[in-house]
Chains A and B, each alone.
Chain A
């Protein structure tokens, strides 16, 4: 049993810097939990507190049944993969992987068996006699993984392990990591600043900003029902389009309006927006929720805009347009024929409109 529970976790540096603010998190057994957020959001600090590499200012961390606050890292039955791999440069790959087991006085045979097994899974058997400096980045990453695997810990910790790899390798390793997790099904906490990694790898994802947890949920939940503007803008690429609009009630219904933009608020949302009548809110719509309007589309859910930049990607086209004074990005069918400076009508999916309070930025 290796669930991880963080209760009221706080970290202060030098009395002034409040890096982690009252974090509460329940990571289930065998879950792959991803902590994601921009630099300085506190995700790495949280991870290091779980590892025992940072002192806990206040709060409690439980791994399995035990409160581990005062336990040194080696007694927590965890393994960690570092961003820079942290391989011992003077030891061979085999010794790198064996070191943890040697420190815990495992028998030589057992060590050999485990190292062989791990290197088979990771495909690094031919490298066992080499030194880290003779390996490529991807190979070093695998050795770092191997070092963590051989210990059969109850919890894996990952500190941005793919950040130092080039783009192609990163994609490859992502898939391998996911396969590895399927195979080993050990609880894991994974830190990254890349939302794509978070979405593809996590069973659940924690979005953090400025030391606070913004939202916890399954990837698609974060995508479809973001709790606030930050999460909405952070998850998904290209980012969600935002526009500040005024909510106006008229005889025909509820409208969200601003210069160059006039959208009907669908009945489902109109209820929730009742308290904001006459006031300003933030409208959010994802690029993938926009498409080129055809004759059947109603004007209520349409935008008139001018095309500014066309980015053909092959599988889709990104259009940078302007509706009134608002820049928007739309993802459209690759067969669309559009030219710069062309006037265009875009239709949006009323099911995929998001509204956020103008002050608190929380989802409405």
Chain B
């Protein structure tokens, strides 16, 4: 039938390059395969090894921490920015277009700019803080484990905030402006208007955006790879970067595959919960 013919190309590509490799990934993770050595079946050994690996534990915790905080910041700042952009002002179109640049420009390239900004010896941020009297000694941005994590969250927020802002802005524009006027007459100040009228009506869009963002952030690779490489001393590894290090760096394909598979149940759970919540909201 026509439908099958039309869907064929898409299905072929997706099956060949997603479904099949996914199955292969599972197969790899159950063997001791390495580069140049097909290895043999080892059951869940790779998984247990990863579970007990302290670096993996750090990487997993990092990924959760990173995703959680980056999403919170992106949502808050994105929402605030969307509310600001929802008003009328001159140059609105240019401002709106330029706000999306962090999202458009390849992450790797802008991550380098940030890395340069955080450089231990030549950081412009240090320069600014020093000359305005906030600090006496330089801040260890990327050379300290905790600081580096927060820097990464900052860069991720910088990059992802426009996505939230623009999408939430579109959602804001579907809300009947009469509602805000009615709320103002009802005695609601700006915060109350937001909390009682805007936020509930925006919840469906918010949820979808958050889910997209969580999927991307949880499986993030580029940013950490360029910013810190996983260091210092493996303290900023994410699941993806650690999987890369094991699989491609050291050639332990089986273990690398196992590590990366740990991402899947989390992502699945996140989407599942969100879909359920979305259904509940739309029914109400």
The 4 closest A-B pairs by CB, nearest first: A100-B186, A103-B187, A86-B178, A86-B182
User: Contacts of A78 on B, CB cut-off 8 Å?
Assistant: 185
Whether B182 lies near A74 (C-beta < 8 A) is no
B170 located at the interface, meaning its Cβ lies under 8 Å from any Cβ of chain A in the complex: no
Whether B185 lies near A80 (C-beta < 8 A) is yes
Output the nearest chain B residue to A76 by Cβ-Cβ distance: B185
Q: A72-B184, A73-B184 are in contact. Are A88 and B189 (CB under 8 A)?
A: no
A301 located at the interface, meaning its Cβ lies under 8 Å from any Cβ of chain B in the complex: no
* Separation of A82 and B186 alpha carbons in the complex (Å): 13
Show the binding face of B for A, using Cβ within 8 Å.
Answer: 176, 178-179, 181-189, 192, 196-197, 200-201, 284
User: Contacts of A149 on B, CB cut-off 8 Å?
Assistant: none
Q: Which of B176, B187, B200 has the largest count of A CB atoms less than 10 A from its CB?
A: B187
Whether A74 lies near B188 (C-beta < 8 A) is yes
Whether B185 lies near A90 (C-beta < 8 A) is no
Cβ 8 A contact of B181, one of A82, A87, A90: A82
Output the nearest chain A residue to B281 by Cβ-Cβ distance: A90
Whether B176 lies near A86 (C-beta < 8 A) is yes
Whether B185 lies near A99 (C-beta < 8 A) is no
Whether B178 lies near A51 (C-beta < 8 A) is no
Show the binding face of A for B, using Cβ within 8 Å.
Answer: 51-53, 72-74, 78-80, 82, 84, 86-90, 99-100, 103-104, 147, 151
Whether B187 lies near A104 (C-beta < 8 A) is yes
Q: A73-B185, A86-B179 are in contact. Are A103 and B201 (CB under 8 A)?
A: no
- Interchain Cβ contacts under 8 Å between A and B, 24 examples: A51-B181, A52-B184, A53-B181, A53-B184, A72-B184, A73-B181, A74-B185, A74-B187, A74-B188, A74-B189, A78-B185, A80-B182, A82-B178, A84-B178, A86-B179, A88-B182, A88-B197, A89-B201, A90-B284, A99-B196, A100-B187, A103-B188, A147-B186, A151-B186
Known: A74-B187, A79-B185, A89-B201. 13 other contacts (CB 8 A): A51-B185, A53-B184, A72-B184, A73-B181, A73-B184, A74-B184, A74-B185, A82-B178, A86-B178, A86-B182, A90-B284, A99-B183, A147-B182
Whether A103 lies near B182 (C-beta < 8 A) is no
The A contact surface, by secondary structure, is loop
* Separation of A52 and B197 alpha carbons in the complex (Å): 19
Q: Which of B186, B188, B197 has the largest count of A CB atoms less than 10 A from its CB?
A: B186
Whether B186 lies near A103 (C-beta < 8 A) is yes
Quote the shortest CB–CB distance from B185 to chain A (angstroms).
5
Quote the shortest CB–CB distance from B282 to chain A (angstroms).
11
Whether A84 lies near B185 (C-beta < 8 A) is no
User: Contacts of B183 on A, CB cut-off 8 Å?
Assistant: 88, 99
Quote the shortest CB–CB distance from B206 to chain A (angstroms).
14
Quote the shortest CB–CB distance from A145 to chain B (angstroms).
13
Output the nearest chain A residue to B200 by Cβ-Cβ distance: A90
Quote the shortest CB–CB distance from B213 to chain A (angstroms).
24
Quote the shortest CB–CB distance from B284 to chain A (angstroms).
8
User: Contacts of B176 on A, CB cut-off 8 Å?
Assistant: 84, 86
Quote the shortest CB–CB distance from A89 to chain B (angstroms).
7
Quote the shortest CB–CB distance from A130 to chain B (angstroms).
12
Quote the shortest CB–CB distance from B191 to chain A (angstroms).
11
* Separation of A88 and B185 alpha carbons in the complex (Å): 13
Whether A74 lies near B201 (C-beta < 8 A) is no
